[in-house]
Amino acid sequence: MDLITPELRLQLLANGKASRDAPHFDPYPAAKWFGPCGAATWLITELDPNDQDTDYGLGDLGMGSPELGHVSIRELTSIRLMRGTLGIERDLYWKANKPLSTYARLARLAGRIVD
């Protein structure tokens, strides 16, 4: 499964440009990625227009300390689980219902990403 469809790439790039131009830009996450056999989850808001391998969002590796930051698409797609049969997936049915700052605040309080 592709983590980023062409349509999603356009949306993430637009958010990346808006974020660069407006420091207080607080978009809703455009994608949710997860490890299918663990607690790792990423809520992604933007793609760096100058480096289309670098996404930004809220990451939670399932260790009680979710954080905002950058993640490499190449690194995530290289992760292989269950003896190489599974990889990181995109939640096809998830839709954000609040801006990233709210997800981050709630995640820090709960120690994990909550919806």
Q: What is the pLDDT at residue 2?
A: 83
Q: What is the mean pLDDT of residues 22-41?
A: 92
Percent of the chain clearing pLDDT 70 (strictly above): 97
Q: What is the pLDDT at residue 84?
A: 64
87 or 26: which carries more pLDDT confidence?
26
Q: What CA–CA distance (Å, rounded) separates 98 from 95?
A: 9
| DSSP code string of 40-90 | -EEEEEEE-TT-TTEEEEEEE-SSS--EEEEEEHHHHHH--BTTTTB--EE
Taking Cα atoms as reference points, which of 63, 64, 61, 93 lies closest to residue 76? Answer: 61
Q: What is the pLDDT at residue 69?
A: 96
Residues 74-91: tens digit of each pLDDT: 998 887 776 766 888 899
